Amino acid sequence: MSNQSVQTVSTSNDKIKVALAIAVAIAGVVGFYYLSDKPALVRAGALVAGLAFAVLLLWTSSTGRDFLNFAQESVRETKKVVWPTRREAMQITGIVFAFVFVMALFLWGTDKTLEFLLYDLILGIRK
C-alpha cells in the first residue's frame, strides 16, 4: 500500500474567487478608514461586512475551504496549549535576563582582551 498524498489542482474559478475575497477584505478595511467621519458603529459595520463577505467567497472555493479548515484546526490546537503560571513565567524571564547579563559580560571581556592584545601588544598604538 502506498501513502502518497493526493494534491488537487485549483481551477481558475477558484483563483478568481480567492482574488475577489482578498479584494473584498481590502475594501472592507479601506471602507473602515474612508468612513472616518461616520460613527464607529458604521465604520465597524463596513469592516465586518467586508470581512464576512470575503469569508463567504473563500468558502465557495476549494482553496478557501482548505485555508478556513486549517485556521479552525489552528484555533483548536492553541486551546490545547498549557500556559505557564505567573511564577513560572517570572522564573523563566529571570533566567533569560541572567543569561543575557552573563553573555554581555563575556562579550565585553572578550572585546577588551582582543583590544588589549591587538592595540597594546601587537601594534603598540595605544592612545
Q: How confident is the model at residue 78 (pLDDT cuts 50, 70, 90)?
A: very high
Is residue 67 domain-shared with residue 34, that is, in the same domain?
Answer: yes
Q: For residue 42, what are the domain limits? A: 12-78
Q: How confident is the model at residue 126 (pLDDT cuts 50, 70, 90)?
A: low
34 part of a folded domain: yes
Is residue 57 domain-shared with residue 109, that is, in the same domain?
Answer: no
Look at residue 9 and tell me whether its pLDDT is greater than 70: no
Distance CA 115, CA 78 (A): 49
Distance CA 96, CA 103 (A): 10
Is residue 37 domain-shared with residue 74, that is, in the same domain?
Answer: yes
In whole numbers, what is the pLDDT of the chain averaged over residues?
88
- Whole-prediction pTM: 0.50
- pLDDT (mean) for 43-48: 92
Is residue 39 domain-shared with residue 90, that is, in the same domain?
Answer: no
